[in-house]
């Protein structure tokens, strides 16, 4: 490293290279902790320094977050001041400092906004346009979609009617809003003119090139483990040797690009030990190990085959739906654009897309009165965090580069290994394509790491060597300190059981709690024993304290076990919200209160605001308040707070105060602007004063005041009510936009920090713990997908992955199957990049932690998360031994595996006085029983209200076919002799006008089996008054109410009435049995004489009618069947 001179910073030779590379554009692959911001700052200053320096207006520096932009601007400003302090050309650097605030240094969206103002008149846009934040833009999209749907319904638009019948209007609204927010016109509009066959052809090509390889990649971990086991098998016998060669050959065939379905089937058949007898095994241990390896491999193959099936009929229907949906998006976009013009604003997508359009065809000269940014004057462009670029942004940067794109105009810095914002549209492959396109002299790297100790880097390098390549190796600059190891494996196995006791598999929640408690105990012991780190400022070794520790999680959904465990060990902790601004607790508290002001009967919001700092009631207070008026709920209980039994004086006073204040604010809500109402609420409630007294109070206060400014923006735009505002804030809590928390200076803390990996990006900590490492976080559930090769895809009905007994074996479309395969693969790749980012945050110590449901020696790699799968492939989990051969010169990592069994439970905080059980409070407030783990009511206590008609009306493909069958099975014309095909077509045309041929054909097959049965023959000859069509009923017991129906009632020769229930393929048999059996007592209570038995009728896979006789259900039989149906997911939202 060269010594600094004067005002110069200390740079390595590797860092100086991109500063002096001038004749070619530079794509700098900057590893974690390698000083890229320093290089960016020095290159920016180098471009404007000296006699040949460029003017500030000729440079643009862009990044992707406000935080990164602020840091870059501050770094540049600090370096300018240091040059002034050194006396170097004072007049020049003084002028630079003065002009710096106006220089084009900022976020990508900020740059685009400034550029567009200069060309606004040519675009027919108001030069004073406002940039619509996510809140305002979301509300405008809601308005546009609502307006369009009402207009299209009034003129009976065939596209909307067809999609509405299949998907329902509410999902269509949500998908339209999503498409407006996330898709550009050039991604949607070309689909409008395609024929379904053309779209299906595109899907087939995408399946072959990306979908099928993505599905096969899921087999990788099990296949690699199998290959490694067989290749390292030392003891063998002739038959075992032959089996090994057969399986290795089959694995090689599957690994080949030309792998066929036959190759996969051959591997599945080969991976069996059935042909080997006792003498063919060197020992029993090898037999058991290979058996487990083969089982994992065959299970993986089974999943691959399952994910490789689709239905051609559904595929054709889905292609038609996509084209219909694209036309709807184009129609709705017109209304959305008109609303934006009326509000004189552009959304974030407009900024990017319109900037690209301007640069493609510069119309006229720039309006210098509207902007000081002239793109034609730009001579040099710097981009930070380039791995977070999307395709449209990449197009803009290429256009800015023009003819000098490869020859010195572009300077991009990024690291594809650290691309973790795919959910925001980032495409990490773009950086790789740019690097490949740039001239070799401009493809530079930063690999010298200034952050992390060598012992930790050796582990990170070894772990990710195959995934990212040998060139990803980070070279340590810091020396090691003290004795190692500095990487720690913390694996928590299931609790031990007696030898003669059958171990029960612990739940995921139980395992997470055990892991959190053991981790907190170990952390307390290590810190109390004098765990050491290097102080970042003094560079001296010192004892670690809790503020040195950061727990980094992928998601914050299960953070509470770790918070509780840390608190029990006496640690103060600081949890930084997982989804930034709109999911901060103080924001949720305000939203709950505004919800109650708008809707007094919102019980859940009322519970939230009463429990919050607004009114600070206790959990017990909520319980007694909800019981104040039997059966009436919390809202009416609040009105009776003065007389509610069980309330403490504190809770009674707070409840009466809440009632009075809420009534006052409701009287104001329609008479004052929302921002004024919110300000008054915060003032009169004392909420802000309560926040200031909390941990990180200044940040929380700043967040709340930022929300007031958001409300003021709503007021200024006009046309929105309180319900619109609350609805938009709630939507953002579930699907957060790009919104940072309010900035405050309260950053450092002596407490353990808990945050997501995304929030830790760009930060570093002496001790990094990665807990819950075995948690799989799947792809986000959605009904709308997009891929540049596939185009737009819609999720078929029923839900993807729900198989029906159709002839093809699946109810998937090829488009959705391919999209899910690509998405799953990309999610796994991003999960590994997220793991890499998390691991490289550590300065001195890295701890990998996970809880397991099986003993470590029996862990199945097929069931591990992507992160742990990688660890188990590269290292022996139980011992920490490195299993792979490393490149020459790479040190072998040292790993400490913590003996978790030796960590005896320590005494925790003194227990509090007995309290009303929290789940009982939730039950009382919400009215639905919860399990011990807080999950849905499908296990534990059964729900109080059961709606058996829900699946019949849920709009899935199976329910639509079932509805058609139920209507046609007792159709008078069918009984009179009309053919099943004619009846199915007629009834289908009446019930679902847009239904394709698939549902009607399946209903025809069912009816064909029905009319050929003896049961139908007897029904056909029965008098008309002995047959009645569908009948609904309600059964009310002491603890449960059940609503349902039967599909027909027929009177037998003995005068008794028999309920009939018809079941289509794919509909739940337990649901059908419940309907049939419960119809008997329900009809008896309705006045029918002698009811029963009931008959459940369905068509089997062989095409014949299956008739099942059902009796009435009582007691345990009813609970057992009901639980079977609920556990199958019948109550899950579609």
**Strand-pair category, 443-446 with 784-787:** unpaired
Give the span between the Cα atoms of 117 and 121, in whole angstroms. 8
User: How much of the chain exceeds pLDDT 70, in percent?
Assistant: 86
Is 37 within any annotated ligand binding site? yes
Task: Report yes or no on 934 lying in a domain.
Answer: no
Range(s) of the domain holding residue 254? 219-306
pLDDT digits (tens, 9 = 90+) for 65-79: 887 888 888 899 998
Name the band, by pLDDT with cuts 50, 70 and 90, for residue 1054: confident
Query: What is the token pair recorded at 1109?
Result: 């006789």
pLDDT digits (tens, 9 = 90+) for 803-812: 443 334 467 8
pLDDT digits (tens, 9 = 90+) for 530-570: 999 999 888 899 999 999 999 999 888 788 899 889 988 98
Task: Report yes or no on 214 lying in a domain.
Answer: no
Task: Report yes or no on 1088 lying in a domain.
Answer: yes
| Helix boundaries (H) for 897-1011 | 918-926, 957-968, 972-975, 980-991, 997-1011
Is 1056 within any annotated ligand binding site? no
Task: Report yes or no on 670 lying in a domain.
Answer: yes
Confidence check: pLDDT of 730 > 80 = no
Do residue 288 and residue 395 come from a single domain?
A: no
Give the span between the Cα atoms of 658 and 639, in whole angstroms. 10
Do residue 613 and residue 688 come from a single domain?
A: yes
Do residue 949 and residue 1085 come from a single domain?
A: yes
Is 30 within any annotated ligand binding site? yes
Q: Which position has the token pair 């980012």?
A: 837
Phi, psi of 748 (to 5 degrees): -80, 150
Highest average pLDDT, of 68-72, 365-369, 1046-1050, 1097-1101, comes from: 1046-1050
Query: What is the token pair recorded at 615?
Result: 């009114």
Give the span between the Cα atoms of 261 and 974, in whole angstroms. 44
Do residue 334 and residue 298 come from a single domain?
A: no
Q: In what order do the strands lie in the sheet with 105-107?
A: 105-107, 59-63, 380-383, 410-414, 26-30, 443-446
Instruction: Calculate mean pLDDT across residues 379-388.
Output: 92
For the ranges 62-71, 350-359, 688-697, which has the lowest average pLDDT? 688-697
Confidence check: pLDDT of 909 > 50 = no
Do residue 439 and residue 338 come from a single domain?
A: no
Which of the 8 DSSP states describes residue 891? P
Which residues on adjacent β-strands are paired with residue 767?
Answer: 549, 845
| End residue of a domain, out of 879, 902, 925 | 902
Confidence check: pLDDT of 1114 > 70 = no
Q: Is 794 helix (H, G, I), strand (E, B) or coil?
A: strand
Q: Which position has the token pair 């066929």?
A: 260
- pLDDT the model gives residue 1123: 63
Give the span between the Cα atoms of 848 and 769, in whole angstroms. 6
* CATH number of the structural domain spanning residue 621: 1.10.486.10
Q: Is 589 helix (H, G, I), strand (E, B) or coil?
A: helix
Give the span between the Cα atoms of 486 and 880, in whole angstroms. 12
- pLDDT the model gives residue 719: 65
Overall domain count for the chain = 6
**Strand-pair category, 105-107 with 765-770:** unpaired
Do residue 585 and residue 699 come from a single domain?
A: yes
* CATH number of the structural domain spanning residue 863: 3.40.50.300
Do residue 1003 and residue 1120 come from a single domain?
A: yes
1046 within 8 A of 1061, measured Cβ to Cβ? yes
- pLDDT the model gives residue 2: 42
Name the band, by pLDDT with cuts 50, 70 and 90, for residue 1119: low
Do residue 598 and residue 571 come from a single domain?
A: no
pLDDT digits (tens, 9 = 90+) for 254-296: 988 888 889 999 999 999 988 888 888 999 889 988 998 999 8
Confidence check: pLDDT of 912 > 60 = no
| End residue of a domain, out of 842, 876, 902 | 902
Confidence check: pLDDT of 233 > 90 = no
Task: Report yes or no on 837 lying in a domain.
Answer: yes
Instruction: Calculate mean pLDDT across residues 1075-1090.
Output: 83
- pLDDT the model gives residue 256: 87
**Strand-pair category, 1105-1110 with 573-575:** unpaired
- pLDDT the model gives residue 533: 94
Is 34 within any annotated ligand binding site? yes
196 within 8 A of 792, measured Cβ to Cβ? no
Is 660 within any annotated ligand binding site? no
- pLDDT the model gives residue 4: 45
Confidence check: pLDDT of 516 > 90 = yes
Is 924 within any annotated ligand binding site? no
Phi, psi of 1081 (to 5 degrees): -65, -30
Highest average pLDDT, of 648-657, 695-704, 902-911, comes from: 648-657
pLDDT digits (tens, 9 = 90+) for 4-26: 444 567 899 999 999 999 999 99
Do residue 600 and residue 719 come from a single domain?
A: yes
Instruction: Calculate mean pLDDT across residues 781-809.
Output: 69
Is 31 within any annotated ligand binding site? yes
Name the band, by pLDDT with cuts 50, 70 and 90, for residue 455: very high
pLDDT digits (tens, 9 = 90+) for 429-445: 999 999 999 999 999 99
Give the span between the Cα atoms of 1066 and 998, in whole angstroms. 14
465 within 8 A of 887, measured Cβ to Cβ? yes
Instruction: Calculate mean pLDDT across residues 386-403.
Output: 91
Task: Report yes or no on 805 lying in a domain.
Answer: yes
Confidence check: pLDDT of 316 > 90 = yes
- pLDDT the model gives residue 1131: 37
Do residue 1060 and residue 962 come from a single domain?
A: yes
Of 692 and 678, more confident: 678
Do residue 990 and residue 1095 come from a single domain?
A: yes
pTM of structure: 0.74
Instruction: Calculate mean pLDDT across residues 506-521.
Output: 90
User: How much of the chain exceeds pLDDT 90, in percent?
Assistant: 40
Of 679 and 694, more confident: 679
| Cβ count near 363 (within 10 Å) | 11
Query: What is the token pair recorded at 8?
Result: 């110069």
Handedness of CA 823, 824, 830, 831 (dihedral sign): positive
Residue 1078: name the closest of 1099, 1061, 1103 by CA: 1061
Name the band, by pLDDT with cuts 50, 70 and 90, for residue 997: low
Averaged pLDDT score across all residues of the chain: 84
Which residues on adjacent β-strands are paired with residue 380?
Answer: 59
| End residue of a domain, out of 675, 704, 734 | 734
Do residue 624 and residue 537 come from a single domain?
A: no
Is 35 within any annotated ligand binding site? yes
Task: Report yes or no on 740 lying in a domain.
Answer: no
Q: Which helix (H) or strand (E) holds 1094?
A: strand 1094-1099
């Amino acid at each position: 490293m060269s010594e600094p001179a004067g005002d110069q910073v200390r740079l390595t030779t590797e860092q100086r290279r991109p500063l002096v590379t001038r004749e070619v554009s530079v794509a700098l692959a900057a590893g974690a902790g390698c000083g890229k911001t320093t290089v960016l700052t020095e290159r920016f200053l180098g471009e404007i320094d000296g006699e040949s320096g460029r003017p500030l207006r000729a440079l643009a520096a862009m990044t992707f977050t406000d935080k990164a932009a602020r840091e870059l601007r501050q770094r540049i400003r600090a370096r300018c001041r240091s040059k002034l302090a050194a006396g170097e050309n004072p007049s020049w650097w003084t002028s630079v400092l003065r002009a710096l605030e106006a220089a084009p240094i900022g976020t990508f969206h900020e740059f685009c906004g400034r550029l567009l103002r200069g060309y606004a008149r040519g675009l027919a846009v108001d030069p004073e346009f406002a940039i619509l934040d996510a809140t305002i833009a979301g509300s405008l999209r809601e308005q546009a979609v609502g307006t369009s749907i009402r207009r299209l319904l009034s003129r009976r638009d065939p596209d909307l009617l067809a999609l509405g019948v299949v998907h329902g209007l509410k999902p269509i609204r949500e998908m339209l809003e999503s498409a407006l927010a996330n898709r550009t016109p050039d991604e949607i509009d070309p689909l409008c003119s395609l024929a379904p066959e053309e779209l299906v052809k595109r899907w087939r090509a995408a399946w072959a090139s990306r979908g099928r390889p993505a599905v096969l990649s899921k087999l990788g971990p099990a296949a690699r483990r199998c290959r490694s086991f067989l290749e390292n098998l030392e003891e063998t016998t002739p038959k075992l040797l032959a089996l090994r060669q057969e399986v290795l050959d089959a694995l090689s065939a599957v690994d080949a690009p030309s792998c066929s379905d036959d190759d996969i089937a051959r591997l599945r058949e080969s991976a069996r030990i059935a042909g080997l007898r006792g003498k063919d095994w060197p020992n029993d241990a090898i037999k058991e190990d290979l058996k487990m390896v083969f089982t994992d491999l065959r299970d993986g193959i089974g999943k691959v085959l399952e994910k490789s099936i689709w239905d051609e009929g559904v595929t054709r229907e889905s292609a038609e739906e996509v084209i219909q949906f694209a036309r709807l998006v184009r129609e709705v976009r017109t209304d959305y654009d008109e609303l934006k013009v009326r509000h004189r604003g552009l959304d974030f997508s407009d900024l990017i897309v319109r900037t690209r359009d301007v640069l493609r065809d510069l119309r006229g000269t720039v309006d210098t009165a509207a902007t000081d940014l002239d793109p034609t004057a730009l001579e040099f462009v710097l981009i930070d965090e380039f791995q977070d670029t999307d395709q449209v942004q990449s197009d803009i940067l290429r256009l800015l580069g023009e003819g000098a794109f490869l020859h010195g105009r572009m300077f991009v810095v990024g690291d594809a290994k650290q691309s973790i914002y795919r959910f925001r549209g980032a495409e990490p492959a773009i950086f790789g394509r740019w690097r490949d396109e740039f001239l070799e002299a401009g493809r530079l790297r930063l690999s010298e790491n200034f952050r992390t100790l060598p012992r930790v880097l050796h582990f990170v390098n070894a772990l990710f060597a195959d995934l990212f390549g040998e060139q990803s190796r980070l070279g340590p600059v810091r020396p090691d300190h003290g004795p190692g190891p500095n990487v720690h494996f913390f694996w928590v196995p299931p609790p031990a059981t007696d030898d003669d006791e059958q171990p029960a598999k612990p739940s995921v929640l139980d395992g997470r709690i055990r892991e959190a408690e053991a981790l907190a105990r170990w952390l307390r012991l290590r810190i109390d024993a004098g765990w050491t780190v290097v102080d970042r400022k003094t560079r001296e070794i010192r004892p670690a304290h809790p503020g040195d520790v950061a727990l980094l999680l992928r998601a914050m959904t299960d953070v509470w076990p770790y918070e509780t465990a840390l608190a029990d060990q006496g640690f103060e902790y600081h949890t930084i919200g997982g989804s930034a601004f709109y999911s901060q607790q103080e924001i949720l508290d305000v939203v709950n209160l505004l919800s109650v002001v708008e809707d007094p009967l919102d019980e859940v919001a009322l519970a939230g605001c009463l429990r919050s700092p607004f009114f600070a009631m206790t959990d017990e207070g909520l319980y007694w308040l909800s019981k104040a008026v039997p059966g009436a709920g919390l809202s009416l209980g609040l009105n009776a707070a003065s007389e509610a039994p069980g309330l403490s004086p504190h809770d009674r006073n707070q409840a009466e105060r809440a009632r009075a204040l809420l009534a006052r604010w409701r009287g104001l809500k329609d008479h004052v602007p929302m921002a004024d109402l919110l300000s008054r609420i915060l003032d009169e409630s004392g909420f802000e004063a309560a926040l200031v007294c909390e941990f990180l109070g200044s940040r929380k206060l700043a967040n709340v005041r930022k929300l007031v400014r958001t409300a003021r923006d709503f007021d200024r735009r006009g046309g929105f009510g309180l319900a619109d505002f609350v609805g938009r804030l709630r939507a953002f809590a579930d699907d957060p936009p790009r919104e940072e928390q309010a900035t405050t200076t309260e950053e450092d803390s002596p407490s353990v920090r808990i945050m997501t990996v995304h929030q830790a990006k760009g930060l570093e900590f002496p001790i990094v713990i990665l807990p819950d490492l075995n948690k799989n976080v799947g792809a986000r559930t959605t009904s709308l997908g997009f891929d540049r090769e596939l185009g737009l895809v819609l999720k078929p009905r029923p839900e993807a992955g729900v198989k029906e007994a159709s002839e093809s074996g699946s109810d998937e479309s090829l488009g959705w199957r391919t999209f899910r395969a690509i998405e799953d693969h990309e999610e796994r790749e991003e999960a590994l990049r997220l793991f890499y980012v998390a691991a490289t945050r550590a300065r001195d110590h890295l701890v990998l932690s996970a809880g397991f449901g099986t003993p470590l020696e029996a862990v199945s790699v097929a069931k591990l998360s992507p992160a742990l799968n990688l660890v188990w492939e590269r290292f022996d989990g139980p011992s920490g031994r490195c299993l792979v051969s490393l490149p020459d010169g790479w040190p072998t990592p040292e790993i400490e595996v913590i003996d978790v069994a030796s960590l005896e439970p320590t005494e925790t905080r003194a227990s509090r006085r007995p309290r009303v059980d929290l789940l009982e409070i939730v039950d009382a407030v919400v009215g639905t029983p919860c399990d011990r783990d807080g999950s849905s009511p499908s296990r534990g206590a059964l729900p109080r209200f059961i709606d058996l008609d829900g699946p019949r009306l849920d709009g899935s493909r199976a329910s639509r076919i079932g509805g058609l069958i139920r209507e046609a099975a007792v159709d008078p014309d069918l009984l009179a002799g009309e053919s099943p095909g004619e009846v199915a077509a007629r009834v289908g045309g009446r019930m679902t006008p847009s239904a394709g041929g698939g549902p009607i054909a399946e209903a025809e097959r069912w009816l064909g089996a029905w009319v050929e049965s003896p049961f139908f023959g007897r029904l056909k000859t029965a008098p008309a008054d002995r047959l009645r069509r569908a009948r609904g009923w309600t059964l009310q017991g002491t603890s449960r109410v059940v609503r349902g129906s039967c599909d027909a009632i027929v009177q037998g020769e003995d005068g008794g009435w028999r309920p009939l229930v018809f079941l289509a393929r794919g509909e739940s048999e337990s649901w059908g049995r419940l309907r049939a059996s419960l119809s008997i007592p329900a009809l008896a209570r309705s006045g029918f004489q002698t009811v029963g038995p009931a008959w459940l009728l369905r068509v089997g896979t062989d095409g014949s009618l299956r008739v099942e006789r059902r009796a009435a259900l009582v007691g345990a039989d009813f609970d057992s069947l009901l639980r079977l149906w609920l556990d199958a997911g019948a109550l899950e939202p579609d």
